[in-house]
Amino acid sequence: MTTDFADRLHVVQARIRAAEQRFRRLPGSVKLLAVSKTRPAAAIAAMAAAGQRCFGENYPQEALDKIIELAALGLEWHFIGPVQANKTRSIAERFAWVHSVDRLKIAERLSAQRPAALPPLNVCLQVNIDREATKHGLDEADLATVAEAVAALPRLRLRGLMAIPAPTLDFAAQRRPLARLREGWERLNAEGLALDTLSMGMSDDLEAAIAEGATLVRVGAALFGPRG
Ligand SMILES: *Cc1c(COP(=O)(O)O)cnc(C)c1O
């Protein structure tokens, strides 16, 4: 079982390296986040034993149980699911990153609740890049205003943007919304925000995302197998 995880990790790492090379990205410039939602702690421990350090979770209660169980491994935990206002405290206390901030109110709560003993919480703003794909995410029209307000919050560090485009297996169609997210990110950087993270790309579109400038891909099924 542990070797299966190691094999799949090596396959995904090889896909990332190949895409970096093909699209003239710097070697090692794309980070892999292993999406472990619905996977048991034992599967995460096996992936960690194979060398993976960063894991993404979508559901607060499920995540907290695993974070506590695996605390000794020193893993880096990223929250990537919808953030409900009544769950911000546990997220602010237990995670290093939140990729799915889609309202100023949520950012304000996370900043207020981030424990003083921890470094600032790294956040990305989730953008609704492709309106039919998800009801979550900021409208592109509101992005600049919200980004400036979030960047000013004391206990958050605004790192970049995240999106989940509508699934398609056509490479050119995959690239279009990802290119729009990159352009939005470039505009914010031109306005002085110093963002270093473009969180886009999953099991089926990571090559398109790397072509369009992703710095972090969030991969579940290709690492852990299909979700039941
Ligand atoms: C589940 C999930 C992923 C991973 O998707 P796969 O298709 O399993 O690679 C990535 N990002 C988010 C936000 C997810 O919820």
The predicted-structure confidence for 133-145, as pLDDT tens digits, reads as follows 567 899 999 999 9
Give the pLDDT of residue 1.
59
**Residue pLDDT, tens place only, 29-82:** 999 999 999 999 999 999 999 999 999 999 999 999 999 999 999 999 999 999
Q: Which residues contact 81 (CB under 8 A, 6 or more apart)?
A: 37, 57, 58, 59, 60, 100
CA–centroid distance, residue 56 to ligand 1 (Å): 9
Residue 38 within any structural domain of the chain: yes
User: 61 C-alpha vs ligand 1 centroid, how far in Å?
Assistant: 18
pLDDT band at 227 (very low <50, low <70, confident <90, very high): confident
Domain assignment of residue 228, yes or no: no
Q: Using pLDDT thresholds of 50, 70 and 90, give the confidence band for residue 210.
A: very high
Confidence of residue 226 (pLDDT cuts 50, 70, 90): confident
d(CA 200, CA 209): 6
CA distances for 74 relative to 112, 155, 163, 175, angstroms: 25, 22, 27, 35
Average pLDDT, stretch 19-38? 98
Query: Can you tell me the mean pLDDT for 143-159?
Result: 98
Mean pLDDT of all residues in 195-224: 98
pTM above 0.85, yes or no: yes
Confidence of residue 3 (pLDDT cuts 50, 70, 90): confident
Q: Ligand 1: residues within 6 Å at CB? A: 35, 37, 58, 80, 164, 202-203, 218-222
Q: Is residue 104 part of a domain?
A: yes
- Give the tens place of pLDDT for each residue, 100-118: 999 999 999 999 999 999 9
Percent of the chain with pLDDT over 70: 97
Strands 76-79 and 216-219: unpaired
- Cα of 77 vs centre of ligand 1, distance in Å, is 15
Given a cut of 80, whether residue 131 has pLDDT beyond it is no
Rounded Cα gap, residues 139 and 126, in angstroms: 9
Ligand 1 closest atom vs CA 100: 13
Whether residue 158 is predicted with pLDDT greater than 90 in this model: the reply is: yes
Among 55, 80, 124, residue to substitute to test ligand 1 (most atoms within 8 Å of Cβ): 80
Residue span of the structural domain in which 153 resides: 2-223
83 CA → ligand 1 middle, Å? 15
**Does the residue 110 lie in any domain?**
yes
- The ligand 1 atom at the shortest distance from the C-alpha of residue 221 is 8
- Residue 210 lies inside a defined structural domain of this protein: yes
Query: Does residue 135 sit within a domain?
Result: yes
**Separation of first and last alpha carbons in the chain:** 17
For residue 37, report the distance from its CA to the centre of ligand 1, in Å.
Answer: 8
Considering only CA atoms, which residue is closest to atom 7 of ligand 1?
203
Instruction: Quote the number of domains for the chain.
Output: 1
210 to 55, 77, 105, 116, 147: CA distances (angstroms): 19, 22, 31, 35, 23
User: Which domain CATH number covers 39?
Assistant: 3.20.20.10
| pLDDT for residue 133 | 58
Mapping DSSP to helix (H, G, I), strand (E, B) and coil, where does residue 47 land? helix
pLDDT at 96: 98
